[in-house]
Amino acid sequence: MQNLIDQTLAQKLNEATHHQKVDVIFNYIERRGQTFYDEAVTQLEHALQCAALAVQNNASNTLITSALLHDIGHFVLDEHNAEMSFLDTDLNHEEIGAKYLQPFFPEAVITPIRLHVPAKRYLCTGDASYYDGLSEASKRSLKLQGGIMSDNEYNEFERIPHYQDALTLRRWDDQAKVKGLETDELGTYKEIVQQCLK
Ligand SMILES: [Fe+2]
């Protein structure tokens, strides 16, 4: 498992100055984001659509940054090169992504990233119409991700700081899969992400 995680981004981030860090992240996701997220969009398109939804909804800079980087775990896991479908195999990309970025961003950025999968479980538990609106792939992966929550898990979830941002991010995540949608390019977010760095 550990050897599936690409450490090159971490090394480059550690070596980079404060002002170089965003370029390091952006170069990485630009390069690694050309693989397909699902049948409709690439990983990079998905990230950009998610960030665009955050901007359209007047989100804070921290939540825009979470939206843009929420699937960084998929990028560093390089699940396509490992020749397995990440929609069928759960490698906990949300935990891996959060841990990866934790040294560089505050909790307000990290928690929504870490919780964006449990947020789906939470929303499916409390809202049947939310479940019905999920894509087939997302319904399929719910089982792998733990299915609906117990009462205890549901209540615990609501005690986590920033959990509401995670729910908001999750709804954008579900929408950010539109084939051929025009979005702002990655560089548009440079200042926003830069401001969120620790
Ligand atoms: Fe996503």
pLDDT in tens, 158-186: 999 999 999 999 999 999 999 999 999 99
Mean pLDDT score, 14-38: 93
Q: What is the Å distance from ligand 1's center to 47 Cα?
A: 7
CA distance 110 to 121: 18
Q: How confident is the model at residue 81 (pLDDT cuts 50, 70, 90)?
A: very low
Contacts for 64 with CB less than 8 Å, ≥ 6 apart: 51, 54, 55, 189, 192
Question: What is the pTM assigned to this prediction?
Answer: 0.91
pLDDT at 90: 63
Mean pLDDT score, 129-157: 91
Q: What is the Å distance from ligand 1's center to 7 Cα?
A: 21
CA distance 71 to 69: 6
Q: Identify the CATH number of the domain in which residue 17 sits.
A: 1.10.3210.10
Total of domains in the chain: 1
Q: What is the Å distance from ligand 1's center to 49 Cα?
A: 10
CA distance 37 to 46: 7
Q: Which residues pair with 42 in a beta bridge?
A: 36
Q: In Å, what is the CA distance from 184 to each residue of 15, 52, 61, 72?
A: 29, 7, 16, 19
Q: What is the Å distance from ligand 1's center to 64 Cα?
A: 13
Q: Which residues surround ligand 1, an ion (CB under 5 A)?
A: 71, 173
pLDDT at 117: 92
pLDDT at 2 over 90: no
Q: What is the Å distance from ligand 1's center to 67 Cα?
A: 8
Question: What residue numbers bound the domain in which 63 lies?
Answer: 2-196
Mean pLDDT score, 39-50: 94
